[in-house]
Structure formats: C-alpha cells, structure tokens
C-alpha cells in the first residue's frame, strides 16, 4: 500500500517503504553474493574443499584481484584498483564483441537475406519484400556519414517509419503483460488480504 | 624500492602466480576422469565469424588511421546527442542538478561501458557550469568506474575541485529498489535534466514517467529494443541502439573516435551490400551466399 | 606504469575472450572458464565497496541531520539487520533471512512491478497525443497490437489476431533487425576502442 501511494504523490509512508526496501535489498544481495560467490566459489574451492576434491588454487588469483579492488579505500594505493577494473572491462569488451557479432550481427543478416519472390505464395513474397526493404531503410537511417537529404533522406525517413512501427508494436505487446501484473497485485490486496474477492 | 620497480615486481608476481595456478589447474584436469577433449587451436567452422570480425575491425582501424593523419571526417547531426548539451545548458540556467542514470547492468555489459564513456564527456561539460551531477548506481562494480569517469571529466575541464564523490551513489542491487530510490531522487531533488543512458529493463518505464512528471528534460538511450518505446514516449529525445555507442565519439569530437564511427559506417555499408547481393542470389535460387552467414 | 599496466591488462583480457570463441582446445577452454571465475569473484568483492559507499553517504547525512535523516537511519538499520541474520544465520530456505526475503522484499518488489501498469497507462496517454506522422504510426500500431491480443479483437474482425501476428512478424521485425545490426556494429566498435586503449575514460587518470 505504501508503494502504491507513490502514484498519488511522494509521501512519508512511501519514503519509509522506500528506505525499508533499499536497506533490506542491499543487505540481501550482499549476503547472497557472500555465500554464493565469495564462500562457494573462492573459499570452498581453495581452502575448504571436501575430501577427495583437489584444491583449485587458480581461484586465488580472483581473490587477489578482488582484494586489489578494496585497495580503493586507501587513497595512496587506490590506483591498484584499476588493474581488476581493467581486467573486467577488457574481458567484457572482448566477450561482447563476439556475442554481438553473432546474435545481433550475423544471425540477423542471415535472417534478412530472403527471396523476393516465393513461387505460389503471395503472402510470403509480400512479407519478404517488406522485411528486406524495411531492414535496408532502417540501416540507412543509422548511417552517420551522410546527411538525410534528397532521395537518401526519403529512404531514411521510411526507415524511421519502420522503427516507429517496431516501437508501437512492442509497446502494445508489453501493455497486456503489465496489466496482468497489476491484476495479480489487486487480487492479493482485495482477495487474499481483504477477502473482498472470493 | 621506487614505485616503478614496485609495479614491475607486482606485475611479474601476478603473472607468475597466474601461471602457477593455471599449471596446477591443468595438472588436475589431466588427472581427472577422461572427458571428450579437443586439441584443435582453431575452429574452422567459425571461420566466417573470424572473417566478419576481421572486416569490421579492419574498417574501423583503417578510418582511425585516416583520422590520425588529419583527414576531416563528416558526421551528420544526431538530435538526441545535441540534446545532451541542451539539457546541461537548461540545468545550468535553472541552477539545478543533472541526474545521470547509467542503466542497471554491471560493467560486464557493453552498454554500461559505453554509458561510462559518455558519463566522462558529460562530466567534462558539467564541470564548466558548476552544477551538481548526481549518478545513482545499481551495481557496485560500476561505482569505482563512474567515480573515475567523473573525476577525469572534471579534471579535463580543470575543475577537479568541484568534483563531489558523494554524488556517485550506490543504491541497491535490487532492480525495483533502485527504481524506487531513483524515483525518490527525481521527486525530492528535482533535477532539471535526466540522462538515462545504458542498459535498462522493466524499470525504464517507471523512471522515464516519473522524470517526465517532474518536468525535467529527459534524454534516454539504450540498445534494449523492448524498452525503447517507453523512452520514445516519455522522454524528449531518445538514442536508439547504435546512437548510444556513437555518443562518445560525437560528444568528444576527437578525430580518432570519429574515425571509429566512420569505420562502423563502412562496415554497415558492407553489410547492406551483402544483404542486397544475398537477396538477389536467393531470389535466383542460389543458396551458398546465405550459408556464409550461418553461425555454429 | 599506472596507466600502461591497466591498458595491457585490458588488451590481454579483451583478446583472450575473443580468442576463446575461436579456440576449441580443451585446455584453453578450461583456462577461459577459470578466468571467467576470476571476474565473478572480482565483481563479488565490489559489493563490499558498494555497501561501504551506502554506509558512508548515509552516515554523513545522519551525522549532519539532513532532511529525512531518520529514514536514512531506517535504511542503515535494515541493511545491518539483513547482513547480520544473513551472514550469521545463513540464507537457506526456512531461515530468518529467507522469511524476511519472502515476507518483505518479495511483496515490495512485486508491488513496484505492478506499478508499471499504472505508468504504462500514463505512457499510453502520452503516446496517443499524436503530433507528428511518426507518433501517429507508433500510436496506431500500438492500438492495433493491443486490440489483436484481447478477445474483443477477434470479435471485431475474425482475422485480427492473425493480422497482429503479421505486424509482429514482418514490419516490426524489419525495424528490429535494423536496430540489432546497428547495435552490433556499435558494440563491436566500442569494444575495440576499449581493448585498444582508445577509450580509457573508465580508468580515470592521475
């Protein structure tokens, strides 16, 4: 109820609930990370292995890098924290280069290469033409090296129209999903809690 | 022992420790029960991906090389990116703060990396005008990165004295606790400009709508397609997908970064040509070209 | 060294993970899994920094008795309480920690999620204030998809749901693909700039 009161305006009850939520969640996540990663991945693998299981000293490196992160709290040697920072950022960059190239790049290009004429199937033919033309126009819109003028500008404008259709469809699709969440909460409040709905 | 020698010793020690640990790990792997092993050093089934990356890298590096040689590089105006400076200007006129929300993902998301780069540029602009820059953060690892980015921005503008570390605040790892707290910041501190740039999920609507209700000028940008409609509807300007990644080059106007933007444009042109060629071939019943894009 | 070493680490880490995709060698893959484990541990340690940040900022506000300082006290107390019961009592199902998670955290989280329904209505109102052709296109498509996904759509026109599916499968997909391909190139470009050290904002400078 306190959270829902936010819809009216900011008020002390919402502020209290917000403080409660933020405090509990911050504590919750630190505990979860402590047990599931620091203890399970680092401590258990290096120091407290079960009988017959070899110690995996390799995780000590992660521990050392993690401790270097904490050196940030000491101003004079805080610059050491840039090493684990660089490691994570560099690794992210490398992993995402490949990930995006595959799922967003090559797979999408392959899916866009479609025959513009499907014999005996007008529905598929029209669909393929719209898909290819729409993707082409959308890519033209994202071209930064040329001003959107003349014929080129008109193609880019058609691209924006396709993008607006994408956003409108996505918006409409999501509305129903959100409504179902609200129905769930109202059911709890008026049904389970107040017993007004049976 | 001076600092340089100390660093050198530390790096060598770290590499030695890594090597030692990896050798131990490899030994244990070799004594563990036999599992199917692969001794190849290159997966030839993925050669097409290798070539694709080589083409894209080549295009980007070539244009960066051109930029280094002083060639002028034209980039068209991007309204959403121009709006960032407009938003900062408006906040300055009103004497209010700028709220920068770098998304909800950790630094292991390239959108967050891009957001941090933009944050540095925004901080450099804001440093000149002496208005607060508030950066609420969801993931703890982003905090030191944001601190470094903002500090560098202020330092580049010669205003390191104006840098306030406490304005970069870790809120909570929980998505909606973060959204609740940021909504609270928007309603209570009433920033004049909200910049929502990075990776967002369901909370995007909450943040954008709350920000819109306060009358702040809002510029948003994400590559998460499902959140873009909410930003388009609730924000004054929206950076769509690639525009978010182009922001750092556009805002800084550094020749090498602009070169990378042109390079990705060249790669895009190659992709468009590939789609056109592939479509013609597919229509003619020739299938081999499409198979080049199959990913294993 | 303060600048060079992080740049070298970024470069090595970046190309290592790119190479991991192309090198199927079992030994290399095992090493990659371990290196991934290091990143997870580093991210876990950063939670300590994050909570430290929360405590530092809120402690200052409490000490200075700034506006709503009492709420900051509640925030800090809740944080310490969850830390205490979680670390000393464990987080297993049936523990006090788990009870608080189920009975306080989960309902608040679900309620925040449910607020989205109200906000989406407000967003829809904003979307339907059509001023340009592009806005009209967004609004019309949204309405068509919404109607197509509820029973009344089929009542109005038998093929409405199929038409909605066609919108999702053809024009919507075309725009989506353009965004995805563009984003891929942008991400690759950003990644390459970070790995090669062209972009080093995240590292700061002395």
**B39 half-sphere exposure, CB direction, 13 A CA radius:** 0
The DSSP bridge pattern shows strands B98-101 and B133-137 to be parallel
Q: What is the pLDDT of residue B10?
A: 55
Per-residue pLDDT, averaged over B196-205, amounts to 92
Element (H, E) at A98: helix A82-100
pLDDT surpasses 50 at C180: yes
Q: Has residue B31 been placed in a domain?
A: no
Q: Do A23 and C180 touch (CB under 8 A)?
A: no
Share of chain B above pLDDT 90, in %: 46
Model-level pTM? Answer: 0.87
Q: How many domains does chain B have?
A: 2
Show the tokens assigned to B134. Answer: 């508030």
Going by pLDDT thresholds of 50, 70 and 90, the confidence category of residue C153 is confident
Q: Give all strands (DSSP E) within chain B, no chain letters.
A: 98-101, 133-137, 168-170, 193-197, 217-222, 237-240
Inter-residue contact C172 to A166 (CB < 8 Å): yes
Residue B156 lies in a domain: yes
Give backbone dihedrals phi and psi of B97, rounded to 5 degrees, phi first. Answer: -85, 170
- Pair (B223, B285) in one structural domain: no
Strand runs labelled E in chain A: none
Residue numbers in chain A where pLDDT is lower than 70: 7-9, 48-52, 181-182, 197-198
The Cα–Cα gap between B13 and B6 comes to 10
Position B40 in a domain: no
State how far the alpha carbon of C42 is from the alpha carbons of B22, B42, B261, C24, C195, in Å.
18, 30, 32, 26, 19
Q: What is the DSSP letter of A43?
A: I
**CB-based contact B180 A3, cutoff 8 Å:** yes
> How many Å from the N-terminal Cα to the C-terminal Cα in chain C?
11
pLDDT of residue B20: 53
Q: Report whether pLDDT(B66) > 60.
A: yes
The residue to which tokens 């933007």 are assigned = B261
Helix (H, G, I), strand (E, B) or coil at B170: strand
Report the pLDDT value the prediction gives residue A48, as an integer from 0 to 100.
67
- Minimal Cβ distance to C116: which of A82, A108, A181: A181
Q: Where are the domains of chain A?
A: 114-198
Residue B1: the pLDDT is: 43
Which residue segment(s) compose the domain that C80 sits in?
Answer: 1-89
Q: Contact B99/B193 with Cβ under 8 angstroms?
A: yes
* A96 contacts on B by Cβ (under 8 Å): 109-110
Does B176 share its domain with B240? Answer: yes
In what order do the strands lie in the sheet containing B98-101? B168-170, B133-137, B98-101, B193-197, B217-222, B237-240
Percent of chain C with pLDDT over 70: 98
If we measure between CA atoms, which residue out of B152, B86, B102, B143 comes closest to residue B124? B152
Domain that holds residue B98: 79-252
Chain B neighbours (≥3 Cβ pairs under 8 A) are A, C
Query: Is B295 a member of any domain?
Result: yes
- Would you say the C-alpha torsion B105, B109, B111, B116 has a positive or negative sign? positive
Inter-helix orientation angle B255-283/B242-252, to 10°: 150
| Domains contained in chain C, number | 1
Query: Which residues does C73 contact at the CB level (< 8 Å), separation at least 6?
Result: C62
Same domain, B71 and B87: no
**pLDDT given for residue B154 in this prediction:** 93
B193, part of any domain = yes
Answer whether B260's CB lies under 8 Å from C189's CB: yes
Tokens of B194: 């909200």
Phi, psi of C135 (to 5 degrees): -65, -40
> What CATH code is carried by the domain that includes residue B149?
3.40.50
Name the residue among B244, B213, B284, B271 with its Cα closest to residue B56.
Answer: B271
Q: Poorest-confidence range of A85-99, C103-117, C178-192? A: C103-117
Residue B246 domain-assigned (yes or no): yes
ipTM, 2 decimals?
Answer: 0.85
Q: What are phi and psi of B167, to 5 degrees?
A: -80, -10
| A47–chain C nearest CA distance, Å | 15
With beta carbons under 8 A apart, name residues in chain A contacting B137: none
* Pick among B279, B281, B286, B294 to test the A interface (most A CBs inside 10 A): B279
> Rounded to the nearest 5°, which phi and psi values hold at B221?
-165, 135
Looking at residue A189, its pLDDT comes to 72
CB contact at 8 A, C51 and B170: yes
Task: Please state the separation of Cα C53 from the chain's center in Å.
Answer: 20
Domain-embedded: residue B1: no
pLDDT, tens digit, 9 for 90 and up, residues B8-25: 555 565 555 555 555 555
d(CA C163, CA B274): 31
Q: Are C123 and B233 in contact (CB under 8 A)?
A: yes
């Amino acid at each position: 109820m306190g959270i829902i009161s936010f819809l009216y305006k900011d008020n002390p009850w919402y502020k209290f609930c917000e403080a409660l939520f933020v405090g509990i969640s911050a504590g919750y996540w630190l505990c979860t990370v402590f047990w599931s990663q620091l203890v399970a991945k680092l401590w258990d693998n290096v120091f407290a292995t079960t009988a017959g299981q070899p110690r995996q000293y390799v995780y000590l490196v992660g521990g050392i890098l993690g401790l270097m992160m904490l050196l940030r709290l000491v101003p004079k040697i805080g610059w050491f924290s840039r090493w684990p920072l660089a490691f994570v950022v560099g690794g992210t960059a490398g992993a995402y280069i490949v990930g995006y190239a595959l799922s967003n790049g090559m797979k999408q290009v392959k899916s866009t290469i479609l025959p513009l004429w499907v014999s005996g199937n007008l529905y598929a033919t029209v669909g393929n033409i719209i898909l290819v033309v729409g993707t082409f126009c959308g890519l033209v819109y994202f071209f930064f090296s040329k001003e959107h003028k003349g014929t080129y500008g008109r193609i880019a404008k058609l691209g924006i129209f396709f993008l607006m259709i994408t956003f409108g469809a996505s918006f409409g699709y999501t509305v129903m999903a959100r409504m179902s969440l609200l129905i769930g909460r109202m059911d709890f409040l008026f049904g389970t809690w107040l017993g007004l709905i049976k | 022992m001076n600092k340089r020698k100390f660093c050198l010793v530390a790096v060598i020690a770290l590499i030695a420790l890594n090597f030692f640990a990896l050798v131990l790990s490899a030994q244990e792997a070799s004594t563990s029960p036999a599992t199917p092993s692969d001794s190849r050093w290159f997966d030839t089934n993925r050669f097409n991906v290798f070539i694709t990356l080589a083409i894209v890298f080549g295009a980007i590096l070539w244009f960066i090389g051109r930029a280094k040689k002083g060639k002028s590089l034209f980039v068209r105006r991007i309204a959403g990116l121009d709006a960032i400076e407009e938003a900062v200007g408006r906040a300055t006129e009103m004497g209010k703060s700028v709220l920068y929300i770098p998304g909800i993902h950790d630094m292991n998301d390239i959108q967050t990396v891009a957001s941090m780069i933009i944050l540095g540029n925004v901080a450099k602009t804001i440093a000149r005008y002496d208005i607060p820059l508030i950066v609420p953060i969801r993931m703890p690892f982003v905090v030191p990165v944001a601190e470094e980015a903002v500090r560098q921005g202020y330092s580049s503008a010669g205003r390191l004295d104006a840098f306030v570390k406490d304005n970069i605040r870790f809120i909570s790892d929980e998505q909606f606790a973060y959204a609740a707290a940021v909504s609270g910041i928007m309603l209570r501190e009433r920033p004049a400009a909200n910049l929502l740039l990075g990776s967002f999920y369901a909370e995007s609507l909450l943040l954008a709508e709350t920000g819109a209700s306060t009358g702040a000028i809002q510029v948003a940008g994400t590559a998460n397609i499902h959140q873009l409609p909410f930003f388009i509807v609730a924000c004054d300007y929206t950076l769509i997908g690639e525009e978010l990644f182009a922001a750092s080059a556009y805002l800084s106007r550094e020749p090498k970064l602009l070169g990378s933007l042109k390079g990705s444009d060249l790669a895009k042109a190659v992709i468009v040509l590939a789609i056109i060629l592939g479509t013609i071939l597919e229509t003619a019943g020739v299938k081999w070209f499409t198979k080049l894009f199959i990913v294993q | 060294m303060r600048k060079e070493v992080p740049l070298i680490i970024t470069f090595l880490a970046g190309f290592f993970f790119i190479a991991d995709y192309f090198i199927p060698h079992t030994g290399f893959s095992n090493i990659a899994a371990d290196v991934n484990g290091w990143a997870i541990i580093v991210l876990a340690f950063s939670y300590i920094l994050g909570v430290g940040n929360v405590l530092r900022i809120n402690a200052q506000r409490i000490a200075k008795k700034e506006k709503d300082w009492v709420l900051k006290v509640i925030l800090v107390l809740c944080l310490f309480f969850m830390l205490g019961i979680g670390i000393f009592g464990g987080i297993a199902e049936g523990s006090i920690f788990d009870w608080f998670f189920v009975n306080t955290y989960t309902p608040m989280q679900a309620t925040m999620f449910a607020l989205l329904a109200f906000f989406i209505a407000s967003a829809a109102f904003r979307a339907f204030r059509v001023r340009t052709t592009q806005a009209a296109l967004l609004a019309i498509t949204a309405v068509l998809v919404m109607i197509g996904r509820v029973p009344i759509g089929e009542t109005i026109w038998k093929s409405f749901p199929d038409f909605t599916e066609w919108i999702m499968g053809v024009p919507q997909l075309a725009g989506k693909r353009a965004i995805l391909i563009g984003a891929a190139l942008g991400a690759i470009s950003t990644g390459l700039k970070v790995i090669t050290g062209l972009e080093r904002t995240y590292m700061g400078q002395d």
